[in-house]
Structure 1
Amino acid sequence: MNYKLLKSQILYRGKVFDHQVDEIEYDSGNIGIREIAFHPGGAVVVPIKDDGKIILVKQYRYPFKKTLIELPAGKLDKNEDPLTCAVRELEEETGYKARDFIKLGAIYTAPGYCTEILHIYKAVGLTQGNHNREEGEHGMELFELTQEEIVTMILSGEINDAKTIAGIFYLQKTKS
């Protein structure tokens, strides 16, 4: 560590994240500002049907003003276990329940300014039920695609959501 913290202030407390600004002094004597978005993290699910197809959702993303194709995912509630979140989000967004969840890994989404960690799970033994979408998710569509189809869509730029790309990478590279 080549700096010391001079001042730290939370400028905004939000529903999704808090915004903190820190003033630091490097060992050289130069002053720097660091902004941090404190985020509770989330869970991502790679739901695999018995036929090997993976369930994805098409969801409108407000910051980009467009719909994206993604793996089901959601934000952790305060002090929530990531597995509990994964179970909830799978059913909420897709209507499916899973017999087994296997943790594949975790990613830091934007480590330069955000504390969000997404925990990625594979879900197998799926049974269809009823989704319970939140208000902003009502137009969500489901897709069932093979791994190969998803990789093709990633490489063509049709799928550019980072958590989905990471989830498919973990799925391909782990032995669980």
Structure 2
Amino acid sequence: MTTNDDQHLIEHKTGSEELLRGRFLHAFRDTVRLPDGSSATREFIKHPGAVMVVPMLDDGRVVLERQYRYPLQQVMIEFPAGKLDAGEDTWDCARRELFEETGYTAREWSRAGVLHPVLAYSDEFIEIWFARGLSLGERQLDAGEFLDVISATPDELLAWCRDGRVTDSKTLSGMLWLQNFLSGAWALEWRTAPVDDAGR
């Protein structure tokens, strides 16, 4: 939250140059006036936003994915996630991504919060959603999308986070939420999915 007390920190845009408009990323170089009156440049990426789902199975395990991430050249363990389509509601996106990537639909949903995974160089936000009362169907991966669906107990996932097997920032945030929800420290308010919900 920005207040009048933050004026000594705020930068003001004085110019903007588009660097790249790709299918996914939109990059800019802005000129800004710093709080002391001097100028600087800020290179950043605009992003449409995304959701991440923490799917909880009835036996206490959570659903995860293993996916190859090209920039890191390695397979990563993550909670299911995906970017928003233009004009898409975040809950609709969460239900769609969970179904498409894992085949699961959920009876109940709760919005936990939001995170900014790379705030130094992107305006990307990721909404964290919890899902429970899962039913398994047939997933519908996008063309060119390859991933394994796995499950783990919260204790196993916590150990993977500790040991560095899980380093994905959204999944680490999801684990923080999961740990506090299961302990009773953080509450969630649940809503029921539409009766005819097929995750799309």
User: Aligning the two structures, in what range does the TM-score lie when normalised by the shorter sequence?
Assistant: over 0.9
Aligned to 1:22: 30
Alpha-carbon spacing, 1:169–1:27, altered in 2? closer, same or farther (3 Å):
closer
Q: How much does 1:109 deviate?
A: 1.0
Where do 5+ consecutive residues of structure 2 fail to align? 1-6, 181-185, 189-200
Give the superposed CA RMSD.
1.3
Q: Give the counterpart letter for 1:147 in structure 2.
A: P
Q: Aligned pairs, how many? A: 175
Q: Percent sequence identity over matched residues?
A: 37
Alpha-carbon spacing, 1:4–1:124, altered in 2? closer, same or farther (3 Å):
closer
Q: Give the counterpart letter for 1:166 in structure 2.
A: S
| Deviation >4 Å, runs of 4+ | none
What TM-score, normalized to structure 1? 0.94
- Per-residue Cα deviation, 1:19-55 (whole angstroms, up to 9, x for no partner): 1111123253422001120001101000001101101
- Secondary structure at 1:136 match in 2: coil
Contact preservation (8 Å) 1:103, 1:120? yes
Aligned to 1:141: 148
Aligned to 1:163: 170
The answer on 1:105 being equivalent to 2:113 is yes
Within 5 Å, which residues of 2 pair with 1:26-45? 26-45=34-53
Structure with bigger strand share is: 1
- Secondary structure at 2:144 match in 1: helix
Task: Identify which of 73, 83, 96 aligns with 2:81.
Answer: 73
- Per-residue Cα deviation, 1:87-137 (whole angstroms, up to 9, x for no partner): 011011111101111111110111111011000011001000001111332
Where do 5+ consecutive residues of structure 1 fail to align? none
What TM-score, normalized to structure 2? 0.83
